Amino acid sequence: MNIVVIGAQWGDEGKGKIVDFLAGDAAAIVRYAGGANAGHTIVLGAEQYALHLVPSGILYPGKRVFLGSGMVIDPEALFAELGALKERGIDWEGRALISDRAHIVLPRYREIDKERDAGRKKPIGTTGRGIGVTYSLKSDRDGIRVADLLWEEKMRDLEPSDRDFLARYRDKLLAMSTDMAVEMRRLRGQNVLLEGAQGTLLDLDLGTYPFVSSGMSSAAGAAVGAGIGPGAIDAVIGVFKAYSTRVGNGPMPSEFDEGADSALCAFVRETGREYGVTTGRPRRCGYLDLVALRYACAVNSMDALALTHLDIYDTLDEVEACVAYRIGGRETTDFPASVEALSQAQPVLRKFPGWKRPLKKCRSFESLPQRARDYVAFIEDYTETPVGIVSVGYERGETIIRRNPWQTKR
Ligand code: IMO
Ligand code: MG
């Protein structure tokens, strides 16, 4: 069975925790998009891990993880991350493998990324990791793939500094390189978890273009980025938070108002630890945007949702969510393509009574307070998608499973 886990918002939805949880039942984990722009946090007891390139399944001893062809891989960042894992006792040799079709990020791409973004009239606020530069070279057919390290003529024609850089990492990368078509064929009949990065609204095609990342972070990207056809995907799980966040620039219709909502914004940011794992930037925060979430469910043919950070709202008297946009005097529940329309959109909010009880210890849906269940039921009705998993804390065990995706047939 192949299950895809993706972000249903603007990234940072808690994918790392959900992937880590589901990885327990997987034979292999494949990350299929993005690069070192991602930051996936996993908490195991007193230990906290921040992963950027390495799939979240690495923390299970012996489990195989793959960096898929849809990824862009910065060798410096990769080996720094693997080195740090090794120092903490996580063995990765022989079980962390890279698609030979994945593209390589050169150090100078990071500088070009930063310069380009600073030169934009409206900067995107990229992570400066060279992501867009690498994907655009890929589309332009000038990229460098892992398999190219064996292509002598191509290496010879590179700039000397690029060639020297690649020569330093050549043997290490080739030792990890594999053919994902072969690997995925061998894995047929076993459980494979396809781990997304970023989120639907940062997807190059489906997101709030041009304020997006450059990879295919939506469910469709999982097939190409891992090395299977779309028909082989058995379920798509979309992860979302009980509220919204966004890092970098671009429209966010349900963003908390700087004046009226400043106390709520500070509360959510501090309680939810809403600071970038990759860049340390404070994240922009806002109400749960159901218009955007329903759009994400539709464009990904989402089978189920995983709701995270519900416990952040434990102490509030009232919880609000955005159920429509008001744009130029008209109300809509459809998510517009135009960033101009999105920037003008005013959120139409709906109030829910708060549950005012800690959720951290709840382990079944029935044990959640009625008001929390009502909030979840409203989300399910609105998005026409079941909420199969609810996370009530950072720890692996602080999770409620209503539908185990490995045991749910379409
Ligand atoms: P995870 O996997 C949140 C955002 C950046 C910027 C835009 C483009 O942790 O959810 P890029 O460097 O990719 O060209 O930047 O995309 N961005 C993310 N925001 N979570 C992420 O990943 C992100 N990856 C990229 O902040 O606005
Ligand atoms: Mg993140």
Q: What is the pLDDT of residue 279?
A: 83
- Comparing C-alpha atoms, which of 78, 62, 72, 12 is closest to residue 246? 12
* Domain boundary, last residue among 197, 219, 236: 236
Average pLDDT of the residues of the chain: 97
Interhelix angle 160-176/107-119, rounded to 10 degrees, is: 120
Nearest ligand to residue 127 Cα:
1
pLDDT at 196 over 80: yes
Same domain, 369 and 267: yes
Distance CA 120, CA 93 (A): 41
Q: What is the pLDDT of residue 3?
A: 98
Q: Which domain holds residue 101?
A: 2-236
Q: Are 54 and 98 in contact (CB under 8 A)?
A: no
**Residue 111's Cα: distance from chain center in Å?**
24
Ligand 1 neighbourhood includes 38 CB (under 6 angstroms): yes
pLDDT at 290 over 80: yes
Backbone dihedral angles phi then psi of residue 312, each to the nearest 5 degrees: -65, -25
* Domain boundary, last residue among 198, 220, 236: 236
Which has the minimum average pLDDT: 38-52, 192-206, 318-332, 368-382? 38-52
Distance CA 197, CA 53 (A): 9
Same domain, 264 and 366: yes
Same domain, 185 and 333: no
> Residue 139: pLDDT band by 50, 70, 90 thresholds?
very high
Q: How far apart are the first and last CA of the chain?
A: 11
CATH code at position 160: 3.40.440.10
Same domain, 250 and 371: yes
Same domain, 227 and 246: no
Q: What is the pLDDT of residue 408?
A: 87
Nearest ligand to residue 41 Cα:
2
Q: Are 145 and 162 in contact (CB under 8 A)?
A: no
Same domain, 257 and 307: yes
Ligand 2 centroid vs 115 CA: distance in angstroms?
A: 23
SS3 58: helix
Ligand 2 centroid vs 40 CA: distance in angstroms?
A: 5
Pocket mutation for ligand 1, best pick of 122, 126, 274 (most atoms within 8 Å of C-beta): 126
- Comparing C-alpha atoms, which of 248, 225, 256 is closest to residue 70? 225
Ligand 1 neighbourhood includes 37 CB (under 6 angstroms): yes
Q: What is the pLDDT of residue 308?
A: 98
CB-based contacts of 153, cutoff 8 Å, min separation 6: none
Q: Are 18 and 400 in contact (CB under 8 A)?
A: no
Strands 284-289 and 243-246: antiparallel
pLDDT at 252 over 90: yes
Q: What is the pLDDT of residue 9?
A: 98
Distance CA 308, CA 20 (A): 13
Ligand 2 centroid vs 361 CA: distance in angstroms?
A: 25
Q: Which two tokens stand for residue 80?
A: 């720094």
Q: What is the pLDDT of residue 258?
A: 87
- Comparing C-alpha atoms, which of 345, 199, 349, 354 is closest to residue 267? 354
Same domain, 156 and 36: yes
CATH code at position 332: 3.90.170.10
- Comparing C-alpha atoms, which of 126, 158, 129 is closest to residue 142? 158
Ligand 1 neighbourhood includes 202 CB (under 6 angstroms): yes
Q: What is the DSSP letter of 342?
A: H
Q: Are 135 and 215 in contact (CB under 8 A)?
A: yes
pLDDT at 409 over 80: no
* DSSP result, 247-266: -SSS--TTBPPTTTTHHHHH
Same domain, 281 and 317: yes
Same domain, 194 and 160: yes
> Residue 330: pLDDT band by 50, 70, 90 thresholds?
very high
Q: What is the pLDDT of residue 4?
A: 98
pLDDT at 355 over 90: yes
Q: Are 248 and 211 in contact (CB under 8 A)?
A: yes
Ligand 2 centroid vs 275 CA: distance in angstroms?
A: 9
| Average pLDDT for 286-290 | 98
* DSSP result, 54-91: S-GGGGSTT-EEEE-TTBEE-HHHHHHHHHHHHHTT--
Q: What is the pLDDT of residue 341?
A: 98
Same domain, 249 and 366: yes
- State which ligand 1 atom lies nearest to the alpha carbon of 202: 16
Q: How many residues does the chain have?
A: 410
Q: What is the pLDDT of residue 93?
A: 96
Q: What is the pLDDT of residue 70?
A: 98
Catalytic residues: 12, 40
Distance CA 238, CA 305 (A): 5
Q: What is the pLDDT of residue 278?
A: 82
Distance CA 141, CA 307 (A): 39
Strands 330-332 and 304-308: unpaired
pLDDT at 10 over 90: yes
Same domain, 225 and 317: no
Q: Which two tokens stand for residue 129?
A: 């990791």
pLDDT at 410 over 90: no
- State which ligand 1 atom lies nearest to the alpha carbon of 277: 9
Distance CA 367, CA 311 (A): 14
Q: What is the pLDDT of residue 275?
A: 96
Distance CA 110, CA 167 (A): 19
| Average pLDDT for 132-142 | 98
Same domain, 224 and 284: no
Q: What is the pLDDT of residue 385?
A: 98
* Domain boundary, last residue among 205, 236, 267: 236
Q: What is the pLDDT of residue 113?
A: 98
Q: Are 394 and 310 in contact (CB under 8 A)?
A: no
- Tally of domains within the chain: 2
Q: What is the pLDDT of residue 135?
A: 98
Distance CA 252, CA 287 (A): 10
Distance CA 241, CA 305 (A): 10
> Residue 91: pLDDT band by 50, 70, 90 thresholds?
very high
Q: Are 199 and 190 in contact (CB under 8 A)?
A: no
Q: What is the pLDDT of residue 218?
A: 97
